[in-house]
Chain A
Amino acid sequence: MSTGSVEVVYRGIFQKTLAKNICRGVVFAAKKEGKIGTAFGRYSDSPERNGIPAKQFAVVSDTHDELQEHLARYEPDNNDVTIACDDALCKGVESWAWYGLQPINKLLKKGGTLLVTSFQSPNKLINFIHRKGEPYNLALVRAAASFSGLWVYKDDHTDARLLGALAKVAPHIVGIDAICEVIKEQWKDDLKVASARKTYEATETIPVSADQGNEEVPFEFEKPGWKTMEEGLVIRGISAEQQKVEGWEGGYVPTRNPTFKKFSTRTMRPVINFDTCIKCTLCWLQCPDSCFDITPDGLYDANMEACCGCGVCEAVCPVEDCVTMVNEEAFDDNASQWEMWVKDKKGYETWMTEKISDKPPRSHGFHHVGQYAEETADEST
């Protein structure tokens, strides 16, 4: 008598098919072992928005009654395994359903396993992941944030590999033989079966203690009740009033939405070379989220509370290499780049050069034809 539950956190639209393949794979494999199960998406993530964190779940049980107890929930909250299909999600999950920033391990049960596709080191990821307050395990599958299954993107076996890894970290949910049988049945591809087995064998978990991880209190807000919520479906416009920020006299920081932040929406962020900026205003004008604060000296500083990582600023900046999109994993905080630059210009140059040069492959954002093929070709693991 038992129930197993798997949460798959992914980037909306881009990884939808990938997440679906994983969840359905779990249910099919469990069925081979005589269990029954269900796979479903968190309804409020739909319709999905580009890159916004979204979730699907697979729940399997020995009996129908047990399964029913876990059904009809938006978010099963006691998962044996949480799979993050993009390691930038380790910084937290900010659903389009709008409830603040949820730590990636929040719905993972004590002693469960967080399974992440990443090229990063486990320690680096643990630094991003919020402290759970309970011990759990971390397992990595060496892979990029995959687009596998999305439109014409080629099948890079990420689904099969994650299924293989899942069988290793949670054999009580599904075993590797059932997984392989299902992959063979669904895709009729021996290579894909081999990928699952290989990952199964290679996957190792490391324990994470209760007090390890990011100490930051995740961003939260209180939802208003019917007596406090404004009537008539009215949302007040954000006033154009200037926010007073110390050290910014003469600059301009607009007020921003107090509840909807974009911390985990982005997978990349712009790094700005303030020495070459010609103050043309294009990034400020074109940014879809009005991220740019005007600094006291007339430069443009992208505010990380608001940036969704779209890359428009990089595309419109007329100065070569003045704005460069860099992977989100390269950053530990959301601090102002301009303030760093003002304090120590030499130090900023070193920091900036390091960030720009350290650009592991990343598929969120389309830069040139053949980019994805190049990225997936690197994955020889």
Chain B
Amino acid sequence: MNPPKTATAEQIVIGGSEELISGSEAIAHACRLADVDVITAYPIRPYDTVMQYVSQMISDGDFDCEFIVAESEHSQFEIVKHASAVGARVFVGSSGVGWFYAFEAMAVTAGLRMPMVAMVGNRALDDPGAFGVEHNDALAVRDLGWMLVWVETPQEALDTALIAYRVAEDKRIFLPCAVSCDGAFLTHSQAIVNVPDQATVDSFLPRYDRGDKLLHPDNPITIAPQANEDWVMEIRRQSDAAMRRARGVITEAYEDFGDKFGREQEPFIERYMMEDAEIALVGMGTLALPVKVAVRKMRAEGRKVGFVRVRWFRPFPTEELQDALSDVEAVGVIDRDYGFGSSFHSGVLANELRAALYPVENQPKIVSFIAGLGGREVNTDNVIVIAGMVADAASGGMNDQDTYWIGVRE
């Protein structure tokens, strides 16, 4: 483990600069700046790119951490879980079925209240062997106590990874957090990123302090005992309470981040041209790019269309979405995931949103769209078609109790 960090001249040169980097490299910089103690790796595309950047930084002498190449994703997650128990700040991640191979370890991480931060390079689930983005991998842990956040740009990836450490390691929370980065569109696409300097990061992110839950000979504790029905429900309720508290802690973290780094953003959702919008589109991740372009085009034609990008899926921004969407006539949810056999055969985000908007007074119509699976491009024309269908639903001209696949060959 590293001694407490003091920013060196060399690091300030690396940090506090403008760099042309991909989402994966941005995440690697976040690991370096967070001075992560233990990182575990196992190759799978697109997540493996983070590992390449991290190992480059280590070999260049810019970053000092225990970098362990595990023999599988399951071990990868087990190792960091245990390292987290003994007080190490940890980083881990995977993609697609690799993420699923670690499922057992991931499921217990939340119950054990280990604040690991993971990056999911979102990827379709094999078979068929496919590398492109789908969100079903990360979404699989949505009910297990993992905080989940989706980002759009390399800058947001870096910033959100730092925020993720601050939130996950907050004593009021101690829950794992996964930062989802769309395969290819984010992991492999470069943008100019402001890489902050070490001193600013240190002022924002305190050291991980596990307090009296530290597994250490001087603090003899047992963790993860066997328990029966007389005990388990209370344990689940504790995780529930921590997840409820996460809302406030996330808000605090974004406020402080804005103050320290000068980049203000609304914590849970991004509202794009939502003032006076009659039709709203909703989605997560890099899908935002074609949607924003399409929204601008439609606005230029006088159509009152806006976009809400969901950043945090867990905790789900129920109140923010109610606030943003209760005045619109209809909402089109574009899921880059699927929920076979679910209500209306909709995507995961669409059904979650339907539940969140159920109690609002002027319920908008909600139409579910599945698009961009396996990394297929969602282009601006697709988005304009979607917005047209949502407008039809608003006027009652189209069935809103169904799900529409966009860009699929008949």
Residues on A close to B: CB < 8 A?
Answer: 43-44, 74, 97-99, 223-226, 229, 231-237, 239
Contacts and interface: CB of A to CB of B under 8 A. Distances in A.
Interface residues of B, number: 23
B111 A233 contact: yes
B249 to A, nearest CB: 15
Contact of B228 (A44, A224, A226): A44
A233 B235 CA distance: 7
Interface of B: 111-113, 174, 213, 220-225, 227-231, 233-235, 237-238, 241-242
B112 A233 contact: yes
B222 A226 contact: no
A306 B164 CA distance: 46
A226 B231 CA distance: 9
A224 B234 contact: yes
A43 B232 CA distance: 14
B238 A226 contact: yes
A225 B234 contact: yes
B181 to A, nearest CB: 28
Contacts of B225: 233, 235
Contacts of A224: 234
A236 B225 CA distance: 11
Contacts of A232: 112-113, 174, 213, 223
B221 A229 contact: no
Contacts, number: 56
A351 to B, nearest CB: 38
Contact of B237 (A97, A226, A237, A239): A226
A44 B230 contact: yes
Contacts of B233: 226
Contact of A223 (B111, B174, B231): B231
Given A232-B113, A234-B223, A237-B220, 7 more contacts: A223-B231, A224-B234, A226-B234, A226-B237, A233-B227, A234-B222, A236-B220
A96 to B, nearest CB: 8
B245 to A, nearest CB: 11
A229 B228 contact: no
A43 B235 CA distance: 20
B117 to A, nearest CB: 17
A177 B261 CA distance: 86
Nearest to B233: A226
11 contacts: A97-B230, A226-B238, A229-B231, A231-B174, A232-B112, A233-B113, A233-B227, A234-B222, A235-B222, A236-B221, A237-B222
